[in-house]
């Protein structure tokens, strides 16, 4: 299996009610996705842009975590200052740097089985995806957070772009969180998750996953809605929760697991990430499997009660 993730790596400053980083730490949607899979023993390649100021550092970091990479130099390194508040993981984002659009895809990754688009701030768009489709038979996966973000005077805002539905339609699996779901459809999935799942599914993807923080997630394949329970734990820092959820989900999806088991693996992997902050979260395949099996046991208990 060959998985390539496309999206700029970033170095963030993070503050939550529980933790505050000492300076900037490695993060980013595609980066966290690769980190999760690398810790599960899966080879991944990260494609993105980074400024010359931090390029040597990120090369050292990615090599330390066993992530292959193709990095192009940009004018600056991307990053955000994130401050969390509220009971559902609400956060304020301020821009620290923007590493600009990704314009190339490495030849050595043309034979990838999966290409995961995990942009941070608009660095991947429909034109890029269409160009890649002509060169690769890979199955496309999308975390849409970065295609819904813009920035104005360093402050981040969210809006749906005219090309968004077409880009989503090119992908096999799409995973918005609750904010992104509301931006995409205008519907709050905490009130009604099924209607927006149907709307997004109508744009063309095979599988829609809506993550809902402490409420778990909902997986929809056009035939069945599959609620996925959260793994009950203390969320000290939810940065990267959705990214690593997708990593866990894709671990199972690439091996042909059923959607419930894939979702439980996603919840299990994300639960390890949110107990810590930054890339050093102690995820192992053994621990993820143990937590996934515990969630699978919840389904067995429910079925026995029917």
Distance set, CA 184 to CA 93, 126, 170, 257, 293 (Å): 19, 16, 16, 28, 33
Closest CA to 291 of 304, 275, 272: 272
DSSP letter for each residue of 32-75: HHHHHHHHTT--EEEEEEEETTTHHHHHHHHHHTT-EEEEEEES
Rg over alpha carbons for the chain, rounded to the nearest Å, is: 18
Give the C-alpha separation, 126 to 132, whole Å.
10
List strands edge to edge, sheet with 91-97: 25-27, 10-15, 79-84, 91-97, 155-158, 149-152
Q: Where are the domains of the chain?
A: 3-300
pLDDT digit string, tens, across residues 160-194: 999 999 999 999 999 999 999 999 999 999 999 99
List alpha helices for the chain, DSSP H.
29-39, 55-64, 126-135, 164-169, 178-185, 194-202, 241-253, 259-274, 285-305
Q: What is the pLDDT of residue 302?
A: 47
Residues 3-300, CATH architecture = 3-Layer(aba) Sandwich (3.40)
Question: For residue 139, what are its two tokens?
Answer: 């199955």
| Angle 280-60-48 from CA coordinates, rounded to 5° | 90
Query: What confidence score (pLDDT) does residue 97 get?
Result: 94
Phi and psi angles of residue 83, each rounded to the nearest 5 degrees, phi first:
-125, 120
CA–CA separation, 112 and 4 (whole Å) = 6
pLDDT reported for residue 91: 85
- Regions of the chain where pLDDT drops below 50: 302-306
Cβ-proximal residues to 86 (8 Å cutoff; 6+ apart), any chain: none
The pLDDT value recorded for residue 301 is: 55
The confidence score (pLDDT) of residue 108 equals: 86
pLDDT of residue 300: 59
């Amino acid at each position: 299996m060959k998985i390539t993730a496309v999206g700029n790596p970033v170095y963030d400053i993070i503050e939550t009610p529980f933790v505050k980083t000492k300076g900037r730490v490695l993060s980013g949607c595609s980066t966290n996705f690769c980190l999760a899979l690398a810790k599960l023993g899966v080879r991944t390649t990260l494609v993105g842009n980074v400024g010359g100021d931090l390029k040597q550092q990120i090369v050292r970091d990615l090599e330390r975590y066993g992530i292959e990479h193709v990095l192009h130099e940009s004018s600056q390194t991307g990053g955000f200052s994130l401050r969390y508040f509220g009971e559902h993981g609400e956060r304020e984002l301020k821009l620290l740097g923007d590493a600009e659009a990704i314009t190339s895809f490495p030849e050595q990754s043309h034979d990838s089985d999966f290409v995961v688009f995990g942009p941070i701030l608009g660095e991947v768009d429909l034109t890029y995806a269409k160009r890649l489709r002509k060169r690769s038979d890979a199955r496309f996966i999308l975390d849409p957070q970065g295609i819904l973000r813009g920035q104005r005077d360093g402050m981040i805002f969210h809006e749906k772009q005219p090309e968004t539905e077409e880009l989503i339609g090119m992908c096999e699996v799409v995973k918005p969180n609750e904010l992104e779901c509301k931006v995409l459809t205008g519907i709050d999935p905490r009130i009604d998750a099924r209607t927006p799942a149907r709307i997004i599914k109508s744009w063309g993807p095979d599988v829609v996953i809506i993550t809902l923080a402490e409420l778990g997630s909902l997986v929809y394949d056009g035939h069945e809605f599959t609620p996925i329970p959260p793994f009950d734990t203390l969320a000290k820092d939810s940065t990267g929760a959705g990214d690593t959820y997708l990593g866990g989900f894709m671990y199972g999806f690439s091996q042909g697991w059923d959607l419930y088991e894939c979702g439980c693996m996603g919840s299990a992997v994300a639960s390890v990430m949110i107990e810590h902050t930054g890339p050093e979260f102690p995820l192992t395949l053994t621990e993820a499997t143990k937590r996934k099996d515990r969630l699978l046991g919840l389904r067995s208990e429910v079925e026995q009660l029917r």
